[in-house]
Amino acid sequence: MASSSSSAAVEAQVEAVRTIKASPGASQFEMDTAVESPEGLKLEVTARQEGVNNNENGATSGLSNDALRQAVVNILERRLFIIPSFKIYRGVSGLYDYGPPGCAVKSNVLALWRQHFVMEENMLEVDCPCVTPEVVLKASGHVDKFTDLMVNDEKTGTCYRADHLLKDYCKEKLEKNLNLTPAKVAELNHVIAVLDDLSAEELGVKLKEYGITAPDTKNPLSDPYPFNLMFQTSIGPTGLNTGFMRPETAQGIFVNFKDLYYYNGNKLPFASAQIGQAFRNEISPRQGLLRVREFTLAEIEHFVDPDDKSHPKFANVTELEFFMFPREDQLAGKSARKICLREAVSKGTVNNETLGYFIGRVFLFLARLGIDEDRLRFRQHLPNEMAHYAADCWDAEIESSFGWIECVGIADRSAYDLRAHTDKSGVPLVAHEKFSEPREVEKLVITPSKKDLGLAFKGNQKMVVGALEAMSEKEALEMKATLESKGEAEFLVCTLGKTVVITKNMVSISMEKKKEHQRVFTPSVIEPSFGIGRIIYCLYEHAFHRRPCKSKDEQLNVFRFPPIVAPIKCTVFPLIKSPEFDDAARSIAETLTKAGISNIIDITGTSIGKRYARTDEIGVPFAVTVDSTTSVTIRERDSREQIRVDIKEVVSVVKELIEGQSTWTDVVTAYTQT
């Protein structure tokens, strides 16, 4: 349980800011928390950075979070960006399809990811299976610890997430019950704040204390017990070989470390990357697209010498400045603020250069995608949120109508993962630093005399030998000094639970000089892990705008996707129905297709305004309108400006715009507007 002082700080924030975190329980990126055993409390609700408010700044002003979400999800479903999976069979909660435009957006995001990370950083991309044998996930800790706490309706057997029920109860009380005493309010807020850190027993006690019953039936509930979130299956026909659908892609990289290190010429640092499906059998998925049972992850494992976490390209990102939310500021109840990356690393706010470099690269990636920089922050994990082995951890959080969403986790996981697989597999996953010439090192050598110890301690000999060999350098040198001055020394043997007397003949302790030709060590791993579906959902909300419709009172929807993300890059419209214009339009569309530019041709003769509106709604950035057979207009979606270009040039102009070689402003300047 949390100490009272830090939980008080958290409660202060809960009351002060009321920004609800996206993920009430184990999120896609809380695996670390699930696998570790956090000792303190978890900050559940975090402060909103000042001056950043979707409802005040954007073109979406006036829309409440609920209205924004409804408007966006309405387009997403109506225009088939997403489809609830297996809809004709009433669907399965937590499973969604990407329909045609959604699928194109996803492809574009992944292509940009590959270019921005794999290509520009020379990463070694791998592609491993989803089906994973038990031993791998036993080593990683998932088999034992990747769980959520569950309760059952004692009569119907219906399953609920225990923390959800407790949280819902507390929130409802706080919202509806105006007669609560200040003490009660504080208590309920405290429960919400420490929810993620409650043990099964503590959760059970609270559920009983508050008389919480099954929401659907009001039946009594079972005690909470852990439910493993992995989809289990069986590999091969015997039923004896348990397998799981991987809950993350990272393990596929760790188990290949040895081969990848060899591939990289046995040199550090290097990074490996993987894009692929991951699976989590959520107890009761809520929050639509943000909490799903199958999703695409893009993960990077950057292996680095633990003694040298500098990064050769750090200088490229030092001047970046964006919203960061360091641990200290969170605990002090402050807001996120813009910090320069150079300063964050030099002051030690961010643990090391490599971690800082990746934070900068993630920022650039999200900005290139079209995430609003003012609704993006990097939040540092509080000590209790981090795994015990982690050196530092930052989440890229994006603000959406659900609150702040963890979309990318960037963690320095130290040597934990490679050590775990080394231990379990017996294959050393280590790196070597060859010295240019052998180095002389002093090493402590403890040599117990088993004969003398046996005579003195008989059956306890083994325990004493073990304790002597396990002494630290400091302890050993102290004992050496004592033995030399007094001939004997008192020595606590923990495994015996008592102190024994060691005499000079029982052990020889010395510092010996040895020549070493290389250093063998387990690399540290820095892991940026991207929840692609979450990033895409936030992108939809940030790209969403409304503008007044000329003719009517309604508002028109626009997705202001950057060209690189837009599912369809260009439309081709003959202005009026005419065989000549239709032919010209078809020929332009064909050339666009050959050039790899996705396009829609619409020769329906619907009014041009309607055709624009229809394609603005799915975010098509450029529209070519054919109103002559020699020159055409190109219209830009956001400014609604048009330029006139020769029909022979249209594809090359659009291609330049799409690939980012020219901006719209460049093109407007280059072509006289008519």
Question: In the window 164-183, what residues touch a copy of itself (CB under 8 A)?
Answer: none
Q: How far is the CB of 89 from a copy of itself (least distance, A)?
A: 5
- H or E element in which residue 665 lies: helix 664-670
**Which region, judged by CB under 8 A, interacts with a copy of itself, from 104-112, 212-220, 441-449, 620-628?**
104-112
CB 277 within 8 A of CB 296: yes
The nearer residue to a copy of itself, 25 or 102, going by C-beta atoms, is: 102
Residues 534-563 that bind a copy of itself (CB under 8 A): none
Which tokens go with 20?
Answer: 């609800």
User: What tokens does 285 get?
Assistant: 């998925």
Q: Which of 9, 130, 391, 613 binds a copy of itself (CB under 8 A)?
A: 130
Instruction: Please state, in angstroms and rounded to a whole number, the distance separating the CA atoms of residues 503 and 491.
Output: 10
Peptide bond into 523 cis (omega under 30): no
Residue 658 interacts with a copy of itself (CB under 8 A)?
Answer: no
Query: Which residue from 13, 256, 380, 633 is in contact with a copy of itself, where contact means CB under 8 A?
Result: 256
Q: Which is nearer to a copy of itself, 19 or 222 (CB)?
A: 222
For position 234 contacting a copy of itself by CB under 8 A, the verdict is yes
Nearest distance, CB of residue 119 and a copy of itself, angstroms? 6
Encoding tokens for residue 517? 């030709």
x/- mask, a copy of itself, residues 57-86, rule CB under 8 A, reads -----------------------x--x-xx
CA-wise closest residue to 357 among 404, 309, 413, 397: 309
Helix (H) or strand (E) holding 513: strand 507-521
Pick from 126, 207, 390, 650: which binds a copy of itself (CB under 8 A)? 126
Q: Which one of residues 17, 159, 331, 556 is an interface residue with a copy of itself (CB under 8 A)?
A: 159
Element housing 145 (H / E):
helix 142-145
Residue 80 buriedness (CB in 10 A; 0-12 / 13-18 / 19+): middle
Interaction between residue 288 and a copy of itself (CB under 8 A)? no
Nearest to 440 by CA among 514, 517, 519: 514
Binding positions for a copy of itself, 334-393, rule CB under 8 A: none
- Other Cβ atoms less than 10 A from the Cβ of 481: the count is 12
290: exposed, middle or buried (C-beta count within 10 Å: 0-12, 13-18, 19+)? buried
If one counts every other C-beta atom within 10 angstroms of the C-beta of residue 605, the result is: 14
Q: Where are the alpha helices (DSSP H) in 426-516?
A: 450-457, 461-469, 473-486
- Kindly give the pairing relationship between strand 488-493 and strand 498-503: antiparallel
Under DSSP, the state recorded for 554 is S
8, 19, 125, 586: residue in contact with a copy of itself (rule CB under 8 A): 125
Give the DSSP H or E segment for 42.
none
Q: Which amino acid is at 308?
A: D
Question: Under a CB-based contact definition with an 8 Å cutoff, are residues 332 and 290 in contact?
Answer: no
Site for a copy of itself contains 661 (CB under 8 A): no
Contact 123, 273 (CB under 8 A): yes
Binding residues for a copy of itself restricted to 261-280, rule: CB under 8 A: 263, 277, 279
Q: Which stretch binds a copy of itself (CB under 8 A): 205-213, 258-266, 310-318, 481-489?
A: 258-266
The residue among 96 and 540 lying less far from a copy of itself, judged by its C-beta, is 96
Q: Which of residues 586-645 bind a copy of itself (CB under 8 A)?
A: 593-594, 596, 598
Choose which of 62, 133, 438, 548 interacts with a copy of itself (CB under 8 A): 133
Nearest by Cα to 160 from 209, 200, 215, 114: 215
Q: Check residue 28 for interaction with a copy of itself (CB under 8 A).
A: no
Q: How far is the CB of 407 from a copy of itself (least distance, A)?
A: 19
Q: Give the binding range for a copy of itself (CB under 8 A) out of 24-32, 87-95, 326-334, 522-530.
A: 87-95
C-beta of 227 vs 521, nearer to a copy of itself: 227
CB of 602 to a copy of itself, least distance (A): 10
Q: Give the residue with the Cβ less far from a copy of itself, 5 or 89.
A: 89
Total residues at interface with a copy of itself (CB under 8 A) = 76
In this chain, which of 56, 120, 172, 343 binds a copy of itself, going by CB under 8 A?
120
What is the rounded distance in angstroms from the CA atom of residue 168 to the CA atom of residue 58?
A: 31
Residue 132 binds a copy of itself, judged by CB under 8 A = yes
| CB 403, min distance to a copy of itself, A | 26
Q: Does 97 bind a copy of itself (CB under 8 A)?
A: yes
**φ/ψ of residue 119, rounded to 5:** -75, -55
Instruction: Tell whether the torsion through CA atoms of 161, 165, 168 and 170 is positive or negative.
Output: negative
In this structure, are residues 570 and 338 in contact, taking their beta carbons and an 8 Å threshold? Answer: no
Instruction: Note whether 329 binds a copy of itself by CB under 8 A.
Output: no
CB of 636 to a copy of itself, least distance (A): 23
Could you tell me if 511 and 443 are in contact, meaning their C-beta atoms sit under 8 angstroms apart? yes
* CB 285, min distance to a copy of itself, A: 9
Q: How far is the CB of 526 from a copy of itself (least distance, A)?
A: 19
If 0-12 CB within 10 Å is exposed, 13-18 middle and 19+ buried, where does residue 110 land? middle
Q: Does 423 bind a copy of itself (CB under 8 A)?
A: no
Q: How far is the C-alpha of 46 from the C-alpha of 86, rounded, in Å?
A: 36
Residue 210 binds to a copy of itself (criterion: CB under 8 A): no
Among 252, 523, 531, 621, contact with a copy of itself (rule: CB under 8 A): 252
Minimum distance from CB of 601 to a copy of itself (Å)?
9
Q: Which is nearer to a copy of itself, 117 or 581 (CB)?
A: 117
Which ranges of 218-303 does DSSP label H, i.e. alpha helix? 250-255, 257-263
Shortest separation between residue 239's beta carbon and a copy of itself, angstroms: 9
